[in-house]
Amino acid sequence: MWVTSGFYTHHHHHFRNPSKPPSSAIPTAVAMSTSHENKQSHYSEATPILTENYPIPLSPQLPLISKQIELNRATIATSNSQLFSLSKTHIIYEDEFLLAVNKPQGIYCDNVLTSLQSQNSVTAELHLANRLDRDTSGVMLITKSHKIASKLVKAFTDHKVKKTYIALCTGFVPDWKTITVRSGHGRSKFGAWRVYGFSDAGRGLPGGSVVREMETSFEVLSVNGKGSFREVSELGFEGSSLVVVEEKAVKIDGGDGDDRNEIVVRAYPRSGRTHQIRLHCQYLGISIIGDVKYEGVYEWDGMIHDGHHLHAETLSFDHPVTGVHVMLRAPLPQWANQALQLQP
């Protein structure tokens, strides 16, 4: 059911700075969408009053175009993943307890594990210590025994494992060099993951799930090829500006009025929520290239992008057996080398 567009626009721009007209760069379909449960909870007389108490998501629904694209990508990834064979070149690190691989884009984690099991004599106890989205490439850690697996799971849960990601985004040039975003994260029954207000953490959602906290720090590495690749800072950022999310994102006009900039950021997720970096990039107005679920461009620089450009760059932790500090690093994919103008 669609209501007149004026209604949606009004609803969407409610949090905008009234002195500033909404940026024309936002695709109208996306700018005008509000969540299905929002409409239901506030405007349908047939809905029980109860739904009034649900927190309202602050990021838009999935764009309609994303459904078909995602379906196509999943089909291709399924056949590619079934054919996938792990080779020595994928292995970043191995000892008798752990194995780390550089997962390619467009391959499901579970198929990497399956391929490894078919080649390995100790198949029974191989376990994925971390999972990456289908289109996210980079460091994936596999444990070789149940005992090590449970130790690492605990380390991840206790935030003892530090991770960094590289993302290739488009949008207005950020007015920050580093920033930390703190928000809620959740989805209502069968829905997409969405950003919620930080103060909504702990509140229930339709379908019985709960809004959880999520936090990510970002640093800008380059804009339109200008910038530099810096080494990962394990200390995090002192003095990084903090954004605590309580309102819909205000799309800020970068002054030059041009949102067609290519921005490389490094993300330091402090929590491990599903699609966390993708959601926070969307919230900051720098959606990841190819990430059609979260308003990323599908076509860029004269090319169609068949997956999102997000790479799990490093994973660091204390070794569960030896206690030695380990930092695993996955070589950067071609798109990152190009964008950062590095020689691969």
261 within 8 A of 269, measured Cβ to Cβ: no
In the chain, beta strands by DSSP E = 91-94, 98-103, 127-128, 137-143, 162-171, 178-186, 194-196, 212-223, 226-227, 241-244, 261-269, 299-300, 303-304, 310-318, 325-329
Tokens of 327: 């930092």
DSSP 13-30: GGGS-TTSPPPTTS-HHH
Written as one letter, the residue type at 229 is F
Q: Work out whether strand 241-244 and strand 178-186 pair parallel, antiparallel, or are unpaired.
A: parallel
**Residue 170 half-sphere exposure toward CB, CA atoms < 13 A:** 20
Tokens of 126: 């191989």
Catalytic residue check, 133: yes
Tokens of 292: 């059609």
Sign of CA dihedral 72, 77, 78, 83: positive
Written as one letter, the residue type at 2 is W
344 within 8 A of 229, measured Cβ to Cβ: no
**Per the residue annotation, which of 110, 133, 200, 291 is the catalytic one?**
133
183 within 8 A of 198, measured Cβ to Cβ: yes
- Euclidean distance between CA atoms 326 and 161, whole angstroms: 10
- Euclidean distance between CA atoms 147 and 66, whole angstroms: 40
Angle (deg, nearest 10), helices 64-83 and 109-119: 0
* DSSP percent split of the chain into helix, strand, coil, nearest 5: 25, 25, 45
Q: Facing residues of 304 across strands?
A: 299
Instruction: Give the residue numbers annotated as catalytic, written as ranges.
Output: 133
